[in-house]
Chains A and B, each alone.
Chain A
């Protein structure tokens, strides 16, 4: 009896070891010169020197697959189970470190009905540079009519850890839902951060040197509370747009939804004094998407010239009728940090003259480049399949599309990592509807490399995850304020800010 127990135990342990081990590469196979079809597509991408393993699924053959990853020097591991290549994190770290500055060769073998096939090998290049260890994003289902569960989450890029920064469920009731949006940080650090809450318990949550407060940025002299934010990289002020935003729905167009501003301005908020002042408020201009330069001496923003012609129509109605006429240009204003005053606006990119619309500018921390989204019209490019990311050389003013980062679907909300070597965008290339973070290596010569999708532990994760990743932002450290701490403050009334005239 005892003996049979022992045999069973040995067999069980052996089974465990076999299932945790590395599969054998098949002895015989036929070769094809086609690259394997894998999801996410990590063929010939360049990855950071500190990224987590890029697990992927093989979409060809049966579920019997093997991938052999080989780093320079011969270090090699094999993986493959149930159609998936799930790489051990420690072994990946070994491979990644060995391949820093070069590439990991990946051979994929898949069993078809009759035989094993070896696909054309590809490389996963490992850059010399790290990526910021954290990103944050808003997970929301891509429907702007209704919302229910929304979470602003942070993800550790060196592994798969993910946690909520805030989610709306604790304070959501049936009668008053709570929308949360526009998380923003000062200079990639989280000791100063903010996000908005709307409807239930509305207000802007500000974390200022670790202290949390909730403010109401709407004053009698401004259009709305703060909307799109940009925290000054050095001093404690935040530029916001204020917007009258509406949305309507395309009856046929694949864009489906159009989000438009009927009015918008720019304001500056001082968290120390809780005062707001006007930056730009031309009634014939729709100013939006403020963005500070890395040195804090320039404020970039977008603005569309739009004059309402028909007094008998509501502004919303006229905007809906003329929505294709809204073209945003890029502007810059100098900023004196001592006096906190702005210089005149200078148009730096005339998208309107090209019949296009430029939105969502972001400047590289090294101050050399500016990226933005360019599409046919409008400001809400996440729903515009034609929206692509463009790169402006701030020295020459030349603009070119980042082809390696773009796709046939919408790319919007670009951002640079803190070392300027990685560009992340919210892309809908997977299916045209769900936004995913795609990251591209941006080398010292200003060249973008093929973008890769944010790796997940389960390669099929994105297939079954029905929420978008909006507003992906790099962070050099995690947010340490807990959801409960935010909730406790969110329950309080928001402190009204005061308006400071020029």
Chain B
């Protein structure tokens, strides 16, 4: 009991820190996923040769433990406890005043958690642990110096209050600085969870996460559509919220002098891969590693792209890297079997998802100019001659997603001709009744047998729209009023999703 009483401050801190950190488990995992520690001299020399390289290398080594968030959390809290102990000893803090010794650790906790989208842009490997390591080093050094001074010079500790204030100001400065550049965004954590679910092929989780927010970001919409595509539910594209918004930093909080947030940086390799664009997936992944350092997520995309592209020697190189890590070795060993057996590869769920998207279209020279989402929309909307039903569906729905009525005209015409005896999906009918009845549409649908249910609903939509329009309501008011009745239709998306903010 007396132990508990004596150490109540650090115990409370440890419990609180554990709870706070483990509530951000997805975030901590993402930090480790955006980093990669490879054992061996070559990797060490590459990191250590840079400025502050030793800190970065140690930090990078420790960061890998966030792969299991509880493990990384335990390590960082132990380091914080050590610094707490040092500071208590250094300042001879007693009783409640020991709380001051936790000030730097609270700052470090804040620094770790408030990074948000910056985890994609910080180039220093091991950044999650580096400030903690510096504090550990400084505490150790200060304690040693203090001991020597007292032992040999017999000086009093007159300097302690000044040092405490200095510590306070040093601690406050990075927090204030960071606060001014942080990019808090409520969607950030959803995007992290969705990325992981996409990577693991947990399509239901992706869709559930998407539905858990009222206004998804563009990236969440892309993830959602990937999940629908691979779970054969792409016809539900507009029944689920397809109206993405830009995350907060782009709209208001992003200071002008910081780096613009781009889907290309956040997830382009994964998006391209899921859409079967292997060259672009590889290209974006390697560009990320060039600009921001090695990361497990990018190396894994490079492995997958190389395997699918049958560049087995290249895949083997990256697998060798992953096999020299603590936590990605097992994944690498699993992937390695695909190098030996094409049968196993073709039987894998991932291959079966991607294979239909590996089109027979001729090779093109192109560039995404850093706009991944735009490129996907244009590329698939422009594709002709789909070789399988999945690709056909992707092409048609993407033209609708992009509101590319001319592309849809062509795709719809081709679809109807290719499936003369099949029932036309309701989504296509919805879009056709809207787009192909335009005055300048090249497709004639005079005698097209629309389902009555579609025709009747469309007529009601037009009436309701005209009535609200006559009342001179704003677009947003009209959108709100019509959403409850028509929010699941392509018409509502077409008319009211106008803020197509590609980033």
Contact = CB atoms under 8 A, between A and B. Distances in A.
Contact of A251 (B279, B316, B321): B279
Nearest to B320: A463
22 contacts: A143-B289, A143-B290, A145-B287, A148-B123, A149-B50, A248-B365, A248-B367, A249-B279, A249-B283, A249-B366, A250-B279, A250-B363, A251-B279, A256-B279, A431-B313, A431-B314, A432-B314, A460-B40, A464-B40, A464-B43, A464-B324, A466-B294
Contact of B287 (A143, A253, A254, A434): A143
A497 interface: no
A435 interface: no
A434 B277 CA distance: 21
A143 B314 contact: no
Interface in A197-248: 248
Nearest to A430: B313
B309 A254 contact: yes
Contacts of A29: none
Interface residues of B, number: 40
B311 interface: yes
Contacts of A141: 286, 289-290
Contact of A458 (B42, B278, B289, B290): B42
A143 B321 CA distance: 18
Nearest to B317: A431
B373 to A, nearest CB: 16
Nearest to A257: B283
Interface in B333-368: 361-368
Given A430-B313, A433-B314, A256 B282 contact: yes
Nearest to B44: A464
Contacts of A323: 365
Nearest to B364: A251
B471 interface: no
A346 to B, nearest CB: 33
A461 B42 contact: yes
Interface string A394-423: 000000000000000000000000000000
A253 B309 CA distance: 10
A146 interface: yes
Nearest to B41: A458
Contacts of A460: 40, 42
Nearest to A147: B290
A353 to B, nearest CB: 25
A258 interface: yes
A284 B454 CA distance: 59
A182 to B, nearest CB: 20
Contact of A252 (B46, B279, B283): B279
B343 to A, nearest CB: 23
Interface residues of A, number: 34
A25 interface: no
Interface centre among B46, B317, B366 (most CB of A within 10 A): B317
Interface string B286-319: 1111110010000000000000010101101100
Interface string B230-261: 00000000000000000000000000000100
A320 B365 contact: yes
Given A248-B367, A430-B313, 7 more contacts: A143-B290, A249-B365, A251-B363, A253-B279, A257-B283, A431-B314, A463-B317
A17 interface: no
A148 B290 contact: yes
Contact of B316 (A146, A431, A434, A464): A431
B363 A146 contact: no
A464 B279 contact: no
Nearest to B51: A169
Nearest to A320: B365
B332 interface: no
Nearest 5 A-B pairs (CB), nearest first? A464-B42, A431-B313, A146-B287, A248-B365, A252-B363
B311 A432 contact: yes
Contacts of A143: 283, 286-287, 289-290
A253 B290 contact: no
Given A143-B287, A147-B290, A323-B365, A249 B280 contact: yes
Interface in B173-192: none
A307 B316 CA distance: 43
Given A430-B313, A464-B40, A148 B291 contact: yes
A5 interface: no
A142 interface: yes
Interface string B364-396: 111110000000000100000000000000000
Interface in B107-150: 123
Nearest to B313: A431
A169 B50 CA distance: 9
B156 to A, nearest CB: 42
A258 B41 contact: no
A258 B279 contact: no
B38 interface: yes
Contacts of A461: 42
Contacts of A466: 289, 294, 321
Contacts of A149: 50
Given A146-B290, A458-B41, A464 B320 contact: yes
Contacts of B321: 463-464, 466
Interface in A463-489: 463-466
B356 to A, nearest CB: 15
B38 A464 contact: yes
Interface in A421-442: 430-434
A387 to B, nearest CB: 17
B308 to A, nearest CB: 11
A145 B279 contact: no
Contacts of B46: 465
Nearest to B43: A464
Nearest to B40: A464
B450 to A, nearest CB: 36
Contact of B367 (A146, A249, A432): A249
A431 B38 CA distance: 19
B464 to A, nearest CB: 43
B365 A434 contact: no
Contact of A256 (B38, B283, B313): B283
A223 to B, nearest CB: 22
Contact of B277 (A148, A251, A432): A251
Contacts of B362: 252
Contacts of B311: 254, 431-433
Nearest to A409: B313
B317 A248 contact: no
A465 B42 contact: yes
Contacts of B313: 430-432
Contacts of A146: 287-288, 290-291
Q: Which of B43, B291, B321 has the most CB of A within 10 A?
A: B291
A467 to B, nearest CB: 9
A252 B277 CA distance: 8
Contacts of A430: 313, 317
A175 to B, nearest CB: 9
Instruction: Among A149, A258, A463, find the residue whose CB has the most chain B CB atoms closer than 10 A.
Output: A463
A316 B52 CA distance: 43
Interface in A231-287: 248-254, 256-258
Interface string A378-390: 0000000000000
Nearest to A465: B42
A371 B278 CA distance: 34
Contacts of A431: 311, 313-314, 316-317
A465 B38 CA distance: 11
Question: Which of B123, B282, B362, B363 has the most CB atoms of chain A within a 10 A radius of its CB?
Answer: B363
